[in-house]
Amino acid sequence: MSRPLIGTSWKMNLTPSEAVRWFDAARPLLEPLAATRDLFVLPPFPAIFVARDALAGSAIGYGGQDVHPDDAGAHTGDVSAPMLADLGCRYAEIGHSERRRDHAETDEVAGAKIAAALRWGLTPILCVGERIRGPVGPARRVVEGQLLGSLSAVEPGDLDRVVVAYEPVWAIGEGATAANPDHVAAIHRSIDQWLGDRGAMVRRVLYGGSVDESSAADLLALPAVGGLFVGRAALDPRRFAAIAATPIASHRRDDLPNERSA
């Protein structure tokens, strides 16, 4: 099992000035944790330079919440992979349900963005998840369809560089709660197997969707959960540090059963 990967996307929250204060509070709390886990922060685009300066010399990564498929061109308001790379970004979030909803982004668009991120040495974080709460079977079909639509053109060696974040849409937002651990475990096993069947030797599958201090330990104890993608709870740097400090249960990925019939 690889080191757990724990990160946050702030969405459209925190101005650059507020980001300065967030990093001032967060870095001393997070830095000791980087010895045992990988950490990242995805601020809004105007605050990426704040992350660059605040995290200089640190093992904590940062990146963008989106990336355009093209490296340059007439795309007003968009941000390219070389722009992110030039700022020292290591990650690019792709395919979040809010991008799909607000900007009509498809799996094919996500795939083109993943290709751009990989071209420029960024780690793509592909977000997948079903919109409607229900049984494991239908959720698995939705997620595997998103994986196929977004990752079918990625070579097996490059699949090792892709992080998948499972975020059931119904578990995102104010008042929502994290998915049941049994549901999370089943979907994560499916994602892990899907990636493995296509040649990925390194599979990092994060859970996102109303992660907080009360749910983090149970989620990280699940065998196929390789880390957490934290939303609104992380807007408080102390809460994010508390979640990132959650003890990691020892478990082996090759102990996972095949539960395709679930």
CATH number at residue 241: 3.20.20.70
Q: How many independent structural domains does the chain possess?
A: 1
Is 150 part of any domain?
yes
Spatial CA neighbour of 165 closest among 198, 135, 204 = 204
> Given pLDDT bands bounded at 50, 70 and 90, which one contains residue 248?
confident
Catalytic residues: 96, 167
Is 262 part of any domain?
no
d(CA 149, CA 218): 31
Contacts of 255 (CB under 8 A, 6+ apart): 223
Spatial CA neighbour of 222 closest among 209, 234, 206, 233 = 206
Using CB atoms within 10 A of its CB, is residue 139 exposed (0-12), middle (13-18) or buried (19+)?
buried
pLDDT mean over 194-205:
96
Structure confidence at residue 175 (pLDDT): 81
Is 32 part of any domain?
yes
Is 155 part of any domain?
yes
pLDDT mean over 176-197:
95
Is 102 part of any domain?
yes
Give residue-wise pLDDT tens across range 86-134.
999 999 999 999 999 999 999 999 999 999 999 999 999 999 999 999 9
109: containing domain? 5-255
> Given pLDDT bands bounded at 50, 70 and 90, which one contains residue 178?
confident
d(CA 15, CA 8): 16
CB atoms near residue 46 (< 10 Å): 11
Mean pLDDT of the chain: 93
Is 207 part of any domain?
yes
Q: What is the pTM of this model?
A: 0.93
Is 168 part of any domain?
yes
- Single-letter amino acid code for the residue at 230: V
Structure confidence at residue 86 (pLDDT): 98
Is 261 part of any domain?
no
